[in-house]
Amino acid sequence: MFRRRTDVVDDTATPVHTWSPAQLVGFVIGASAVVLGAIALTRTGFHPDRLYDHERSVLSFHHTELLALVEIGFGVVMMVAALNPGSRGVMALLSAMLLGFGIVVVADLWQANLHHWLGVHDRNGWLFVVVGAVGLFSALFLPTFRTGGVSRRRTLIHH
């Protein structure tokens, strides 16, 4: 005569984790740029009124203070972008800019000005081309993985 209906809903939400190997590649590129720029800055010294007067060699790559500061800034932005899998577009843009700059250096376009301001040579250009290509490839083509998710269990009991 009396019917009792019980609906039991168990919504257990587990967090969704999204990550990509491109984040690791981007973070390594950024950290390497920060370290290289920091070492170059310690060797050239920091003189705000003479950002391109002191050229030094770091691991056989020529640097001025200006290039060291640019590398540190690039590395910090790349590492911040690598922390979020949704920032792969920023990683791709930074890598494409680095690749393009490397091509300009290797092709000897504006070589006198670039050498004066940044102290770059062909060896620097090839480093920028390789690192930019690796970063761009990883940002565009490495997969994104999602782990976790929402599990829902619905139990209906009728009496």
Q: What is the mean pLDDT of the chain?
A: 85
Q: d(Cα 72, Cα 30) in Å, to the nearest integer?
A: 8
In this predicted model, what pLDDT tens digit does every residue of 56-113 receive, in sequence order?
888 888 888 999 999 999 999 999 999 988 889 999 999 999 999 999 999 988 777 8
Is the predicted pLDDT of residue 153 greater than 60, yes or no? no
Please report, rounded to a whole number, the percentage of residues in the chain having pLDDT higher than 70. 84
Mean pLDDT computed over 122-139: 96
User: Against a cut of 0.85, is the pTM above it?
Assistant: no
List, as own/partner pairs, every contact residues 126-129 make where C-beta atoms lie below 8 angstroms and the sequence separation is at least 24, other chains included. 126/102, 127/61, 127/102, 128/98, 128/99, 128/101, 128/102, 129/99, 129/102, 129/103
Mean pLDDT computed over 15-21: 82
Domain boundaries, the chain: 22-144
Strands 145-147 and 150-158: unpaired
